[in-house]
Amino acid sequence: MNVPLSVFCMAILAACLLVCRVTAQPANDDRGRYFSKKEYTPEVLPGWDASKARLPRPVLEAEPGWVEMYWKCWELAFDHLRRPEPGAPFVSNYVDEAFNDNIFQWDTIFMVMFWRYAQHIFPAVQSFDNFYCRQHSDGFICREIRETGDRAGEDYHLETSPQAVNPPLFSWAETEYYRVSGDKRRFEKVLPVLEKYAEWLEANRMKTSARHGLYWQTGLGSGMDNTPQTGSARVEMSAQMVIQYNDMAFMAEETGLAGKAKIYRTRA
């Protein structure tokens, strides 16, 4: 069969582009190496109507408006539960902030803090899984990730913007969630992730050239977009690093890792 030269050349070009596309993003295959959960198992999301009776019930006879607002907040929260999109490399159902098509580290952490009181209905702490499974091999976790999970959508990626890092509060949220759930088994899964994340922060967010040795952050990255602070050395970022290490020490103690707990306490 005779094939026109132009068609043959186009086929060769397409093959070359395909090879380039495959080899240009090898980092995607190496994401989440420190987190043991690798695949998504479909799970049914709980519905609002069936869940309301199982939620904590406020006793505020003098403020019926507050009670009405309380239940409306929970109704909205249940409406924002999500499954991973088809083809997305996420591994768990999650709580969505409903702001845009990204998931946000800062928002997710604070949403999990109220969802812990409904952990018997939906284990909202697993929302962090989708950040852990996208952790870079050097330990970096981006503050904002596309819900499709693709790397190109990380608008604040380390390579292009210093805004990419949110306050290191995963360990705080994990610890506070445990105080309600009582399930320490999760600590064994997440400590390797948080340890590597802390290593990245030490290497990339400490002002080693300055005497004070504080950690640095940006206004947008700090989560407080309208902060009036200037400069890069931040008291709150440094305090958050202390919180992180103390919580990691607590997690290590709860799982019998006394040696690591001592190391984390010393760093704090």
106 within domain boundaries: yes
Is the pLDDT confidence value at 19 over 70? no
User: Does the pLDDT of residue 15 top 80, yes or no?
Assistant: no
Is 8 domain-assigned? no
Could you tell me if residue 33 is inside a domain? no
What distance, in Å, lies between the first and last C-alpha atoms of the chain? 73
| Pairwise CA distance, residues 25 & 203, whole Å | 24
Q: Could you list the residue range(s) of the whole structural domain that residue 185 is in?
A: 41-267
- Mean pLDDT (whole number) for 252-256: 97
Q: Which two tokens stand for residue 9?
A: 């050349």
Can you tell me the mean pLDDT for 199-227? Answer: 83
pLDDT of residue 157: 55
Neighbouring C-beta atoms of residue 209, cutoff 10 Å: 6
Mean pLDDT across 230-247 = 88
In this predicted structure, the answer to whether residue 7 has a pLDDT above a threshold of 50 is no
Task: Confirm if 49 and 23 have CB atoms less than 8 A apart.
Answer: no
pLDDT mean across residues, the chain: 85
Q: Is residue 146 part of a domain?
A: yes
The 3-class secondary structure across the chain, one letter per residue, is: CCCCHHHHHHHHHHHHHHHHHHHCCHHHHHCCCCCCCCCCCCCCCCCHHHHHHHCCCCCCCCCHHHHHHHHHHHHHHHHCEECCCCCCCCCCCEECCCCCCEEEHHHHHHHHHHHHHHCCCCCHHHHHHHHHCCCCCCCCCCCEEECCCCHHHCCCCCCCCHHHCCCCCHHHHHHHHHHHHCCCHHHHHHHHHHHHHHHHHHHHCECCCCCCCCEECCCCCCCCCCCCCCCCECHHHHHHHHHHHHHHHHHHHHCCCHHHHHHHHHHC
Mean pLDDT over residues 42-48, rounded? 96
Q: Which residue has the higher pLDDT, 218 or 110?
A: 110
State residue 150's pLDDT score.
65
Tokens of 153: 């959508």
pLDDT of 146: 87
What is the per-residue pLDDT for 232? 65
Number of Cβ within a 10 Å radius of residue 216: 18
Position 93 in a domain: yes
Q: Name the least confident of 31-40, 124-133, 146-155, 221-230.
A: 146-155
Structure tokens at 124: 């909202």
Tokens 């999990």 appear where?
Answer: 112
Query: What is the distance, to the nearest Å, from the Cα of residue 268 to the centroid of all Cα atoms in its chain?
Result: 22
**What is the CATH classification number for the domain harbouring 181?**
1.50.10.10
Residue 24 lies inside a defined structural domain of this protein = no
User: What pLDDT does residue 16 have?
Assistant: 37
Let me know if residue 222 belongs to a domain. yes
Q: Is residue 231 part of a domain?
A: yes
CB 134 within 8 A of CB 145: yes
Q: Report d(CA 266, CA 30) in Å as an integer.
A: 31
Number of structural domains, the chain? 1
Report the distance separating Cα 63 and Cα 40, nearest Å.
43
Residue 14: predicted pLDDT:
39
**pLDDT range class, residue 80, cuts 50, 70, 90:** very high
What angle is formed at CA 244 by the lines to CA 249 and CA 169, rounded to 5 degrees?
135
Pairwise pLDDT comparison (79 vs 148), residue with the higher score: 79
The two three-digit tokens of residue 238, written as one number = 């440094």
